[in-house]
Structure 1
Amino acid sequence: MKVYIVGGGAAGFFSAIQIAENCPEAEVHILEAGQRFLQKVKISGGGRCNLTHACWTPKELVKHYPRGEKALLGPFHRFACGDTMDWFEKRGVPLKIEKDGRVFPQSNSSQSIVDCLMQAAEAAGVQLHLQQRVSQIKPLEEGGYFLATKGGAEYKADKLVLAAGSSAPIWAVLAEMGLNIVPAVPSLFTFNSKDFRLKGLPGLSVPQAEVEVLGQKNLKARGPLLITHWGLSGPGILRLSAWGARKLFDLDYRFNLRVNWLGWERQTLAEELQLLKKDWAKKQLSKTSPFSEIPNRLWRRLLYAAGIKEDKSWANLSKKELLGLEEELTACEIKVVGKSTFKDEFVTAGGVDLDQMNFKTFETKAFKGLYIAGELLNIDAITGGFNFQAAWTGGWSIGQDFLPK
C-alpha cells in the first residue's frame, strides 16, 4: 500500500510517522512543495516552538478554537496536550511549561522538535521528497488517487493525506472535486493605528488589558497588550483578531477599538483615583504613574489625552478631569486603520467545511482513503500552542485508521 502525504509541516509529519509506525508494510511518502521540511515549526514561537499548551481538559481545550470547537472535542478525548508532551518526551525531547501555560522544549530551540520529527520519520521508513508542488489530484475509478506536480512528476496513492497548510491551490483542487471550501481570511494579526497616544512608544506594554471592537456584539478579549511601531499587538490583540477574523475582514480592518489599559472595573478605578487624590495630594500627576501596570511614558500620554496639564497636582484635579482620566484608562478609543501579519503565528480562518469530515479518523466523508489535517481544515486557534495541538491530534487520529483491523 502506497500512502502519500501532501505537505511537510507539523500535521504532515505527524500523520506520516503515525501511519508508518502503525502499518509497517505501508510505503509512506511526504511530498513537500518547498525547499525545507517543517519550516513553520522551525520559526514558530520566535524560534523556540510553542508546541502545545498545558490544558488538560478537552472541554476547556476546545474553548481556544474560534473555529473547530465542536469538531475537536472527540479527537481531544483521544489525543490531547498531555499525549503530545508524552510523545515528544519519550523520544528524547525534554519539555517545560512556562507560567502562562505554553509548552516549549527545554532547549529553547525549535530545532529540537524538528530533529525529533525528522528522526522519527526516517526511523519509521518515511520517504521524503522536497520541491514537489502538487497541482492535480484525481480520484481513480479503481480506487486510490492520481497526483501530479507542477514539475511534471506523477504519483499513484492508495491512500492520500492532505496537510499542505493554508494552500489556496489545494483548496481549489478540492473545490473542483466537489468539497465545500469556506473562504479563507487572515486570523492572528496585529492592528495598525496612527493614534497619537501610541506614537513614539513602541515596546511599551501592559500586562492585562481588555480590548473590544465597538459596534460588534461580544467581540472582546483580555490579555497582555504591546505597543508597536505600527499600532497594537500582544496576546490580547491576537486573541481578538482570531475570534473576530471574519467580522474584521468584513470591516476591511477599519474600526474603533476600546482599550481598558488596566482591565479594571470603572467603579473600582474611580474609587482608587479618589484615594490617590487624597493620599498623593501634593504630588504632580505627570511625575510618576500610580499604577505599576502602566509605564510612565504611556501614563503621561493618557494624561495629555484627558486634557490634564503636566504641572497639575492630584489635589487640584477637577471632577471633569477625574472623569476624563477614568475614560482614558478604562474606555480609551483608538481608531484602527489596517492589520499586519504576526509572522510567527500566522494562520487563516477558513478551509474545508467541517461537516464534510469524519473526525474520528479525519477522513473525508465523500472520498474514501482521503484524509485532511492541519490548516487546510476550517479550524484555527488563538496563540499559545493550540494550532500545533490541532495538527498533532489530526495526524495521530489519521494514523489510528492504519492500525491492523
Structure 2
Amino acid sequence: MKQIIIIGGGAAGFFCASNLDETKYKIIILEQNSDVLQKVKISGGGRCNVSHACFDPRELVQFYPRGNKELLSVFTKFQPGDTMEWFDKRNVSLKIENDNRIFPESNSSQTIINTFLTEIQKKNVEVKTKCVVKEIIKENEKYIVKTSTGEFEADYIIYATGSSPKSLKIVENLGHKIIDLVPSLFTFNIKNDLIKDIPGTSFEYAEVSIPKLKTEESGPLLITHWGLSGPAVLKISAWEAINLARLKYNFEIEVNFVSKTIDEAEKLFQNFRQSNPKKTIGQSKIFEVTNRFWQKVLEISKVDLNKQVSNISGKEMQMILENLCKKKLQVTGKSTFKDEFVTAGGVDLKEINFKNMSSKILSNFYIAGEVLNIDAVTGGFNFQACWSEAWLIAQDLNLK
C-alpha cells in the first residue's frame, strides 16, 4: 500500500485526508504544534467562518487579491455550494448569515473540528503532533521526510504547512521559487484627535482611500484603541499588501465617514438648518454617525456644541464637512487582525498545476493552502480556497 504524508494539520491537510481513499493509501498527518486545526478553532471568533455564500466562481475569485486567475478553474470544480453539501452529508448544518458568511448552526468551531476528527478516524489516518519537519529529501521515486521525531518515507507528499518562513525554506530547498512574504489583512495604526478616546465607534458604510496608491475601498469601518479597522480597512490592506509593505506602513489615507460627497453632505446640512434653526448643533442628528463621534467632529472643527444650527458660519460648516467627508489621517504602522494572521507571498503560482494542485517541479508532490501565494479578504474565503484545493488533490490521488 502506498504511503501519503500530509505535512500540516490545518484546514487543507485535514480536508484532503478526509477525502482520500483509505483503501488505496496509508495516510499520515504531521503537525508541528501540539494541537491540530488551530486556525479553524479561532476563526470567526471561535464560531468558524467555514466559507462564503458566493456560488459563481467568476464572482468568487474577485475576493482574492492574489490567486484570482488560478483559482477560477479550481472553483469551477469545487465551490462554496459543494462545501455546504459536503458538511450536510456529514450531518453538519451550516447557515448563511446576513453578510453571506457561512457558519455552523452550532456557532462553534468545535463542530467542524469534530467532523474532521471523525472522518480521519474512520479512515485510520495517523496524526503525529509535535512533529517538526526539518527537511525533505527526494530519493528516486520516494521522499524521505526528516522530522524532530524521526524519519518517514512517502510515495506522495501533500504540503499544506501554512505560510511560516521555515516551511517555505524547505520547499525552496526542493527547487520551488518563493515570493517574499508580507502581511495581508491588517488594521491601521493612527494617532489623531478625531478618533482618540472613542474606540468601538462604528460606521455602517464608509470609504477609505490611499491617494498615493490611487486606490479606494468601502464598507463598514471601526475605530479601535490603536486606529482604524473593519472590512473597508482590511480589504484595502489585502489588495495593497505588497505596496504598503514597500511604504513601510507609513502613508496617508483619506476617510469619508458618511460616504457622501461634500456637496451632498452640505445639502443635508442646509435642509436640516432650514427645518431645525433653533436646535443646538451638538444635539443635531444630521448624519448617520454616533453622538460621541459627532461631538468629536464638532470639537476638532472648533464649533461650540451649544451654538444654534442657524448660527453656524459657512467656514464652520466647511470644517465639519471636511472632517466628515475628506478627513486625512496619517497611518504609522499596522496591527495583525485578530489571530487570523494572513500573508501574501509563498510558493510561486506559476510552478503549480491548478488542475490537481501538483507541483510542476517535483513529481508526486502536491501543495495547498496558505503556503501558496494565494490570499483573500476576510469572510471565509481563505478557508474555501483550502477546501477546494485539498478536494482536487484527493480526487487526483484517488484516481491513481
Same fold, TM-score > 0.5, yes or no: yes
Query: Could you say what secondary structure the match of 1:238 adopts?
Result: helix
| Contact preservation (8 Å) 1:45, 1:344 | no
Query: Could you say what secondary structure the match of 1:104 adopts?
Result: strand
Partners of 1:334 and 1:17 in 2: CA distance: 48
Alignment of 1:340 with 2:335, yes or no, is yes
Greater shift in the superposed pair: 307-316 or 277-286 = 307-316
Unaligned runs of 5+ in 1: none
C-alpha displacement of 1:349: 0.4
C-alpha displacement of 1:344: 3.3
Query: Could you say what secondary structure the match of 1:186 adopts?
Result: strand
Partners of 2:36 and 2:278 in 1: CA distance: 63
Partners of 2:292 and 2:190 in 1: CA distance: 18
Alignment of 1:145 with 2:143, yes or no, is yes
Partners of 1:285 and 1:344 in 2: CA distance: 41
| Contact preservation (8 Å) 2:186, 2:336 | yes
Deviations 1:72-113 (A, max 9, x none): 000000001010011111111111110000000000000000
Q: Which amino acid aligns with 2:375?
A: D
Partners of 1:56 and 1:189 in 2: CA distance: 27
Query: Could you say what secondary structure the match of 1:221 adopts?
Result: strand
Deviations 1:98-149 (A, max 9, x none): 00000000000000000011111111221111111101011112x1211101
Residue matched to 2:264? 268
Partners of 2:349 and 2:266 in 1: CA distance: 47
Query: Could you say what secondary structure the match of 1:303 adopts?
Result: helix
Partners of 1:92 and 1:47 in 2: CA distance: 20
Residue matched to 1:25? 24
Alignment of 1:352 with 2:347, yes or no, is yes
Greater shift in the superposed pair: 102-111 or 277-286 = 277-286
| Contact preservation (8 Å) 1:345, 1:383 | no
Residue matched to 1:234? 230
Unaligned runs of 5+ in 2: none
| Contact preservation (8 Å) 1:72, 1:359 | yes
| Contact preservation (8 Å) 1:352, 1:376 | yes
Residues 41/131 of structure 1: CA separation in 2 closer, same or farther (3 Å cut): same
Query: Could you say what secondary structure the match of 1:337 adopts?
Result: strand
1:194-273 aligned within 5 A: 194-218=191-215, 220-273=216-269
Partners of 2:101 and 2:295 in 1: CA distance: 34
C-alpha displacement of 1:152: 4.3
Alignment of 1:47 with 2:46, yes or no, is yes
Residue matched to 1:85? 84
| Contact preservation (8 Å) 2:132, 2:149 | no
Deviations 1:215-261 (A, max 9, x none): 1122x211111111111111111111111111111111111111110
Partners of 1:319 and 1:288 in 2: CA distance: 17
C-alpha displacement of 1:305: 2.3
Deviations 1:181-203 (A, max 9, x none): 00001111111111111111011
Partners of 1:354 and 1:270 in 2: CA distance: 49
Deviations 1:323-355 (A, max 9, x none): 222211111111111111113321000000000
Identity %: 46
Query: Could you say what secondary structure the match of 2:212 adopts?
Result: coil
Partners of 1:392 and 1:301 in 2: CA distance: 45
Alignment of 1:192 with 2:192, yes or no, is no
Query: Could you say what secondary structure the match of 2:319 adopts?
Result: helix
Partners of 1:94 and 1:112 in 2: CA distance: 10
Q: Which amino acid aligns with 1:337?
A: T
Q: Which amino acid aligns with 1:206?
A: F
Deviations 1:339-394 (A, max 9, x none): 11113321000000000000010001011111000000000000000000000011
Q: Which amino acid aligns with 1:36?
A: D
Q: How many positions carry a matched residue from both structures?
A: 399
Query: What TM-score, normalized to structure 2?
Result: 0.97
Q: How large is the Cα RMSD of the aligned pairs? A: 1.2
Partners of 1:277 and 1:400 in 2: CA distance: 66
Query: Could you say what secondary structure the match of 1:286 adopts?
Result: helix
Residue matched to 2:286? 290
| Contact preservation (8 Å) 1:46, 1:344 | no
Partners of 1:152 and 1:10 in 2: CA distance: 23
Partners of 1:319 and 1:394 in 2: CA distance: 58
Q: Which amino acid aligns with 2:19?
A: Q
Query: Could you say what secondary structure the match of 1:256 adopts?
Result: strand
| Contact preservation (8 Å) 1:277, 1:317 | no
Query: What TM-score, normalized to structure 1?
Result: 0.96
